[in-house]
Structure 1
Amino acid sequence: MAELLIEGLTKRYGAINAVEDVSLHVADGEFVTLLGPSGCGKSTTLAAVAGLDRADQGRIAVGGTVYFDAARGIYLPPEARGCGLVFQSYALWPHMTVAENVGFPLTLRKVARAELRRRVEEVLALVEMERFAARYPHELSGGQQQRVALARTLVYQPAILLLDEPLSNLDAKLRDRARAWLGALRTRLKLTTIYVTHDQIEALSLSDRVVVMNGGRIAQIGPPQEIYEHPADPFVADFIGTTNFVPARLLADVAGGGRAQLELADGQRLEAHSERPARAGSRVTLAYRPEHMLPATAAMPEGSVLRTRITSRAYVGGLWQVGLDLAGSPLRLEARQPPMGDEFSLWLPHAGGILFPGAADVAA
């Protein structure tokens, strides 16, 4: 195992910076996920680490080996880097059995037959595929093929493991099972891993830390709970989970860690905790997760009660997703029972929201 160090990584395609000044330290044995929408630079960063794409600037080192250093003109080819790489496509040889597919990297490295057999058996047991050693890829399910592709990577004992959306070709239920299996495997392996995905559930459930990327840059780095509960900006809040955004005006100066007095577009007022200082009269955006909003009752804890209009109701199994309009802003509430009528009293806790300066620029 080894630590990974990325410093000032930049990759351009013509006038477009696919990755711009990305720096990241991954500790020995750490599982870090690069998360973001398509085109954010996560796969380009992974390709630069693997050596499949040569960056324009920056430095990449694993342990004591420098993979890439633009300033010094160092560039190791992929085969010299010792990285284990698993793509979306499993790329198994159709004419080879499972055991032959897994052992192929060792055959290329001219490993002795007895050692090859021992390592193939060992890694197939690790991914719980030893019973399928004599089968061919077309006789396996998608999840089983994914395990074989991972075993083929692990068999030559890579310095670091690079996974580029390895579960994306699986259906929803199989993907859930594969995610649980992969989570258990990562705990056993303790192999330094970079995992690329656009799936927030995968990122939150598997990672020691999550790196949220946007426009080729790192928007935020942190443990999954920190990323979810304390997003750095509206983009991160919107991309991780479901977030409701409400524009408002600040009525009085507020210091960081204080309670802000806010006015909505329709004149309704509310209070919210603010971690950042802000000036009276400034425009702000209040963000709430659906689980923090509740139907107002007579015995609610400290918070604000606001008038809203119901725009939709949808049963999603165990919960109702209720569309609301608050001062012209669309919200989504999750409720055990569907609210009746057209009007709705909504309770927002003083400490449950996140206040961002300015107007939130998020996808509709």
Structure 2
Amino acid sequence: MADLLIEGLVKRFGDVRAVDNVSIHVADGEFVTLLGPSGCGKSTTLAAVAGLDRPDEGRIIVGGKTYFDGARGTYLPPEARGCGLVFQSYALWPHMTVFDNVVFPLTLRKVNAAERKRRVAEVLALVEMERFADRYPHMLSGGQQQRVALARTLVYQPAILLLDEPLSNLDAKLRDRARVWLAELRTRLGLTTIYVTHDQIEALSLSDRIVVMNGGRIAQLGTPQDIYERPADPFVADFIGTTNFLPAKVAEPGVGTALLELGNGQRIEVAAERAQTQGARVTIAFRPEQMRVATAGEVTNGEGSVVDARVLTRSYVGGRWQVGLDLGGGPLRLETETPPAGDAVRLWLPRHGGIVFRESGHVAA
């Protein structure tokens, strides 16, 4: 195993900086996910580590071994790096059995026959595919093919593991099962891993840390809980989970608190660690699970605020309802076990938990 250091990585395609000064340190045995929308630079970063794309600037060092150094002109080809790469498409040889697919990297490396057989048996048992050694890829499900592709990578004992959206070709239920299995496997292996995905659930459930990317840059790097509960800007808040954004202005600044006025004139009190400026335009972000329908007779108090909202839509999604609301010009989504009756609802918003962003997009509280 080895740690991974990426420093000042830049990759250009013409005038576009697909990767723009990215720096990440992945500790030995750590599982780090690169998360973001299509075109954010996550797969290009992974390809640079694997040696499939040559960056323009920066450094990549794995376990003290320099893979790339733009300043010194160092560039190791993929075959000299010792990375394990699992592709989105699995890339299994259709004319080879499971055993032959998995043993192929060892054959290329001229490992002796006895050792080849031992290692293949070991990794097939690890991914629970030993019973399928004589089958061909077309005889396997998508999830089984994914396991074979992973076994083929693990069999030559790579320094680090690179996973490029390995679950994206699976259907929803199979993806859920594969995610649980992969989480158990990563605990057993303890292998330094870079995982690329656009799926927030995969990132939150599998990662030690998440790197959220946007426009080729790192928008935020932190633990799953940090990213979800303390997003650095509206992009991160919107991309991770579901977030309701309400435009507001500061009506009364205070110490540790602020009174915000919504677009329809209603006011809510929120916790604010930093000083606010009266009249400043801000955006307050709430997760759907932080809000609820106010109980009969409930009023604004030190724990939260009660406001009036208009019901726009109701959707039953199995065990709960998703309710679309309008509150001062900002659309909201509320999740509740019982849908509100009528076209109006009294909504409770917590004093703590919401995040206030300044007009610049940075956290204001």
Q: Please, what TM-score do these two structures have when normalized by structure 2? A: 0.97
Matched to 1:69, the amino acid is D
- The answer to whether the Cα contact below 8 Å between 1:86 and 1:164 also exists between their aligned partners in 2 is yes
Shift of 1:46: 0.3
2:254 and 2:94 map into 1 onto residues whose CA distance is: 65
Counterpart check, 1:261 vs 2:259: yes
Whichever residue aligns with residue 319 of structure 2, its letter is: G
Tell me the CA shift for residue 278 of structure 1.
Answer: 2.5
2:208 aligns to what?
208
Deviation, structure 1 residue 299:
4.9
Bigger shift: residues 264-273 or 53-62 = 264-273
1:313 corresponding residue in structure 2: 314
Matches of 1:173 and 1:24, distance apart in 2: 33
Root-mean-square deviation (Å): 1.2
Deviation at 1:182, TM superposition (A): 0.3
In 2, Cα distance between the equivalents of 1:25 and 1:52? 20
Unaligned runs of 5+ in 1: none
Equivalent residues in 2 for 1:53-202, closer than 5 Å:
53-202=53-202
Equivalent residue, structure 2, for 1:349:
350
- TM normalised by structure 1 equals 0.97
Residue pair 1:275, 1:355 contacting (<8 A) in 2 also: no
Per-residue CA distance 1:135-190 (angstroms, 9 max, x = gap): 11011000000000000000000000000000000000000000000000000000
> Does 2:297 match 1:294?
no
Q: 1:126 to 1:192 in 2, by over 3 A?
A: same
- Structure 2 residues not aligned, in runs of 5+: none
| Paired residues of 2:298 and 2:306 also in contact (CA < 8 A) | no
- How much has 1:360 moved relative to structure 2? 5.8
Residue pair 1:245, 1:360 contacting (<8 A) in 2 also: no
Cα offset, 1:359, TM superposition: 6.9
Is 1:252 the counterpart of 2:252? The answer is: yes
- Mean CA deviation greater in 118-127 or 266-275: 266-275
Q: Percent identity?
A: 75
SS at structure 2 position matched to 1:138: helix
Asked whether the 8 Å contact 2:6–2:58 carries over to 1, the reply is yes
Instruction: Give 1:203 shift.
Output: 0.1
Q: Which whole-Å deviations, capped at 9, do the CAs of 1:320-354 have from their partners, x for residues lacking one?
A: 00000001110000010011101110000100211
Correspondence list, 1:316-335, <5 A: 316-335=317-336
Q: Distance in 2 between matches of 1:271 and 1:359?
A: 21
Aligned-partner Cα distance in 2 for 1:261–1:339:
27
Separation (CA, whole Å) in 2 of partners of 1:58 and 1:359:
29
Alignment length, in residue pairs? 359
| Matches of 1:35 and 1:59, distance apart in 2 | 21
Could you give the per-residue CA deviations for residues 19-61 of structure 1, whole angstroms, max 9, x where no partner exists?
Answer: 1010000000000000000000000000000000000110000
1:48-79: per-residue Cα shift (whole Å, max 9, x none)? 00000000110000011000000011000000
Per the alignment, residue 228 of structure 1 pairs with 228
Residues 99, 133 of structure 1: 8 Å contact kept: yes
